[in-house]
Amino acid sequence: MDRFDAVLVGGGIMSATLGTLLKHVEPSWKIAIIERLPGIGEESSNAWNNAGTGHSALCELNYTPQKDDGSIAIDSAVSVNEQFQVSRQFWSWLVEEGVIPQPSSFISPSPHMSFVWGEDNVRFLRARFEALKDHPLFVGLEYSEDPLVIAEWAPLLIDGRAKGEALAATRFVEGTDVDFGSLSRQLIDYLAQSTATVYSETTVTALRRSKSGWKVSLRPEVGFTPEVIETPFVFVGAGGMSLNLLQRSGIKEIRGYGGFPVSGVWVRCDNPDVARHHQAKVYGKASVGAPPMSVPHLDTRLVDGSESVLFGPYAGFTPKFLKNGSWFDLFASIRWHNLIPLLAVAAGNFSLVRYLVGEVFASRAKKLQALWDFYPRPTRMIGTSRPPDSASR
Ligand SMILES: Cc1cc2nc3c(=O)[nH]c(=O)nc-3n(C[C@H](O)[C@H](O)[C@H](O)COP(=O)(O)OP(=O)(O)OC[C@H]3O[C@@H](n4cnc5c(N)ncnc54)[C@H](O)[C@@H]3O)c2cc1C
């Protein structure tokens, strides 16, 4: 039986980051990275499966909730931003060390904007700006209620709007767009050149305690000859499948945890004329009851050197916990100890449930209307007579 000092399950950004840190604090360790797909960073970390905002709370309004007295709580925004600065320091160091030769291969500058309409939302954004603008991490945050200024920042948001509509935006020019898929691939390639053994197309099917730590059962997707490896430390970085794997490990800490069958769906536009006119990540305000992941945003994405515009995410329903998962993932995760917490979450968050049901059954026209609320006149900017529902999904 092969022995490793640490086994990292999953080839996404979490295992890639932890593996890189381990290599530097314990350079002599033998590490195994197990990934069930043929490629690295192909699930949530893939650039097309997330927004690449690299959460820094510069534009995401859910990090600055309004308190009952009307003031704005900034604690979450500050702590999220601090964490992102630590990530940036870590990435800068990796570039200095030559681990990542070209930072532009995974991170690019992209202004972060928040954009709202309606008197109440404008008041909220103004108060948020006042609360953040003097904090050292947010110095440089700009605010405007002037459509001409906002049009300079992001023209697609303004063209076609009624005169006199109450609008406001903030902008932080030093925001970023991050390709976590590319970063995962580069870090895991780097690890594979030294201390790590990467098992691709190999699924971890079980984790069992042994005298010296853990026995990790592997099933290669080609050949199907099972194998067991041993290690004192296992990191479960299996994304959506972490829940099921941790349940099967028998650890008691997983009791009470469950997964909700919610996914995110994007509208994607690769038309270079549109992308040229939109050079920012623009976040709006979530509908009442909407989960933070479904805050609507119109984003510039730079993937493999090409620019696109992404809008979403729309909440969807799926019992799969991974894009390449099984239709039975949700049902396989239900245990007596998480059934009551799951039902309690649903019962205690009626507005969330109502929002999700409404989204899942929303017509294509209603979904596109959410996009046109951000981008009211799609045909004018790109100079064509295409109907407004021609964005590709
Ligand atoms: C709609 C949406 C938008 C998002 N937007 C942002 C954003 O703007 N900014 C941001 O910072 N984050 C964002 N995120 C979150 C971010 O994408 C994830 O937090 C991150 O990619 C998770 O990385 P991971 O390594 O944990 O999981 P993953 O990237 O999913 O990797 C897990 C890996 O484990 C593998 N695996 C699973 N089971 C097994 C098994 N049994 N054996 C072997 N391998 C296994 C999978 O194949 C996969 O490759 C967003 C997420 C979503 C869904």
Distance 181 CA to ligand 1 centre (A): 9
Q: Do 305 and 172 belong to one domain? A: yes
Q: Is 55 in the pocket of ligand 1 (CB under 6 A)?
A: yes
Distance 45 CA to ligand 1 centre (A): 5
Q: Of 254, 270, 289, which closes a domain?
A: 254
Predicted pLDDT of residue 54: 81
Q: Do 363 and 281 belong to one domain? A: yes
Q: What is the rounded CA–CA span in Å between residue 231 and residue 121?
A: 53
In eight-state DSSP terms, residue 95 is: H
Q: Is 329 in the pocket of ligand 1 (CB under 6 A)?
A: no
Overall domain count for the chain: 2
User: What is the residue with the minimal CA distance to atom 39 of ligand 1?
Assistant: 238
Q: Which domain holds residue 233?
A: 2-47+180-254
Q: Do 28 and 138 belong to one domain? A: no
Q: Do 389 and 275 belong to one domain? A: yes
Q: Is 46 in the pocket of ligand 1 (CB under 6 A)?
A: no
Angle at 289 between CA 58 and CA 286, to 5 degrees: 30
Q: Is 242 in the pocket of ligand 1 (CB under 6 A)?
A: no
Q: Do 168 and 279 belong to one domain? A: yes
Q: Is 10 in the pocket of ligand 1 (CB under 6 A)?
A: yes
Distance 150 CA to ligand 1 centre (A): 33
Q: Are 283 and 115 in contact (CB under 8 A)?
A: yes
User: What is the residue with the minimal CA distance to atom 27 of ligand 1?
Assistant: 239
Q: Do 353 and 276 belong to one domain? A: yes
Q: What is the rounded CA–CA span in Å between residue 66 and residue 61?
A: 10
Q: Which residues of 216-230 are buried (b: 16+ CB within 10 A; e: fewer)?
A: bebbeeeeeeeeebb
Q: Is 238 in the pocket of ligand 1 (CB under 6 A)?
A: yes
Q: Report the atom number in ligand 1 closest to the C-alpha of 53.
A: 8
Residue 312: which region, alpha, beta or left (left: phi > 0; alpha: psi -120 to 50)?
left
Q: Report the atom number in ligand 1 closest to the C-alpha of 203.
A: 42
pTM of the model: 0.92
Predicted pLDDT of residue 392: 33
Torsion of CA 44, 194, 304, 57, to 10 degrees: 50
Q: Do 66 and 142 belong to one domain? A: yes
Q: Which residues pair with 63 in a beta bridge?
A: none
Cβ neighbours, 10 Å, residue 288: 9
Q: Report the atom number in ligand 1 closest to the C-alpha of 264.
A: 1
CA dist 309 → 69, 303, 346 (Å) = 37, 11, 33
Distance 49 CA to ligand 1 centre (A): 8
Q: Do 84 and 155 belong to one domain? A: yes
Q: Do 333 and 275 belong to one domain? A: yes
CATH, residue 234: 3.50.50.60
Predicted pLDDT of residue 79: 98
Distance 240 CA to ligand 1 centre (A): 7
Q: Of 222, 254, 286, which closes a domain?
A: 254
Q: Are 186 and 164 in contact (CB under 8 A)?
A: no
List CB contacts of 237: < 8 A, sequence separation 6 or more: 8, 9, 10, 12, 14, 15, 18
Q: Is 11 in the pocket of ligand 1 (CB under 6 A)?
A: yes
Q: Is 175 in the pocket of ligand 1 (CB under 6 A)?
A: no
Distance 307 CA to ligand 1 centre (A): 22
Q: Which residue has the tokens 């995110």?
A: 264
Q: Of 254, 276, 308, which closes a domain?
A: 254
Q: Do 296 and 368 belong to one domain? A: yes
Q: Is 295 in the pocket of ligand 1 (CB under 6 A)?
A: no
Q: Do 150 and 187 belong to one domain? A: no
Q: Do 24 and 103 belong to one domain? A: no
Q: What is the CA radius of gyration of the chain?
A: 23
Predicted pLDDT of residue 234: 98
Q: Report the atom number in ligand 1 closest to the C-alpha of 205.
A: 41
Q: Is 19 in the pocket of ligand 1 (CB under 6 A)?
A: no
Predicted pLDDT of residue 138: 97
Q: What is the rounded CA–CA span in Å between residue 22 and residue 59?
A: 32
Question: Of 332, 370, 386, whose CA–CA distance to 378 is shortest?
Answer: 386
Beta strands in 35-111 (DSSP E): 107-109
pLDDT in tens, the chain (393 residues): 799 999 999 999 999 999 999 999 999 999 999 999 999 999 999 999 999 998 899 999 999 999 999 899 999 999 999 999 999 999 999 999 999 999 999 999 999 999 999 999 999 999 999 999 999 999 999 999 999 999 999 999 999 999 999 999 999 999 999 999 999 999 999 999 988 999 999 999 999 999 989 999 999 988 878 999 999 999 999 999 999 999 999 999 999 999 888 888 888 999 998 999 999 999 998 776 676 666 889 999 999 889 999 998 888 888 999 999 999 999 999 999 999 988 888 888 887 788 888 888 888 888 888 899 899 987 655 544 343 343 332
Q: Report the atom number in ligand 1 closest to the C-alpha of 13.
A: 25
Distance of CA 165 to the CA centre of its chain: 32
Structure tokens at 378: 């799609």
Q: What is the rounded CA–CA span in Å between residue 46 and residue 182?
A: 8
Predicted pLDDT of residue 367: 86
